[in-house]
Structure 1
Amino acid sequence: MQVLLSIAFDPELDSEPAERLVRQLRAEISELDVESVGPTLAGTAPDGAKGTDAVALGAVVVALSASGGVFTSLIETLREWLSRHSARHRISLTIDGDTIELDRASAAERRELIDAYVRRHTGE
């Protein structure tokens, strides 16, 4: 399974701190039992991306292994990362054309949306 992560940073954030945040997130994701994590390939830019820099900076592809809890672990990692760095950042996850956006929703609203999304893609 491949998951496309699109990070929309706070518009007031400069590119250097944004790059650092992407590197931190990729490092956290790589610690999970994922097959790979890396930037998107040319031509796979998320809808609404503005220019090459935005695509290169805030789009990450994660290939998940077949083991059961990896997807749930990825979601939890993203949730924690947003909690620490949220400001006005958003993360969109896309699997097979199904997209969910994580942003400034309340913790309860976010949990409910994420739980429903996880159930759709894990059969739980």
Structure 2
Amino acid sequence: MGESNGGNGRRTEVLVVVAPDPDADPAVTERLGRQLQREIRDLDVEHVRMASSASTPEGTKGVDGATLGTLLVALSASGGVLTTLIGTLHHWLGRQRAGQRIMVTIDGDTIELQAASAEERFALIDAYVRRHSGGRDDG
């Protein structure tokens, strides 16, 4: 999913799939998906857009018809934008019902965020961000 951004360095495309609590009202889950899209748009990302589940890359885990939203986010490789994005997703998920989860995919590598202690989520997120930022802390 990562690709070159001309001569300006590397651009990373991040697939964000939000799967709702199975008992949630569809209208509420759609509203929450749009809210998350607005929160991501407020970050220093190149773009964020809704993508259909049918257009997600082959092999992406957890994508099915019950997904609340599938977002495609483009980041420039400079700065701590990936760290900020993952942190935003983590905080957004913390404000939602326990049954929801988020899958984040970069270059075929997927991390699933769901109900876990804050410490467990932080450790998982930290390892994932380091893997996709060349082992450096870009936050």
Residue 44 of structure 1 corresponds to: 56
Matched, 1:62 2:78: no
Task: State the shift of 1:48 in Å.
Answer: 4.2
1:83-109 residue CA offsets vs partner (Å, 9 max, x unmatched):
111421000000001000000011111
Tell me the number of residue pairs that the alignment of Structure 1 and Structure 2 aligns. Answer: 121
Distance 1:63 1:12 in 2: 31
Larger Rg: 2
Q: Residue type of the partner of 2:21? A: D
* Greater than 4 Å deviation, 4+ residue runs: 45-48
User: 1 or 2, which has the higher helix percentage?
Assistant: 1
Q: Which residue of the partner structure matches residue 31 of structure 1?
A: 42
Give the TM-score normalised by the residue count of structure 2.
Answer: 0.80
Structure-2 separation of matches of 1:66 and 1:110:
23
Cα separation, partners in 2 of 1:44 and 1:31, compared to 1, 3 Å = same
Write out per-residue CA displacement over residues 2-48 of structure 1, whole angstroms, 9 at most, x where no aligned residue. 00011110000011000100011000000001011111255326544
Work out which of the residue numbers 102, 109, 112 in structure 1 matches 2:123. Answer: 112
TM-score by length of 1: 0.89
Mapped contact 1:90–1:101 kept (Cα < 8 A): yes
CA RMSD of the aligned region, Å?
A: 1.6
Identity of aligned pairs, percent?
58
SS at match of 1:85: coil
Specify every segment of 5 or more residues in structure 1 that has no aligned partner in the other structure, as ranges: none
SS in 1 for 2:49: strand
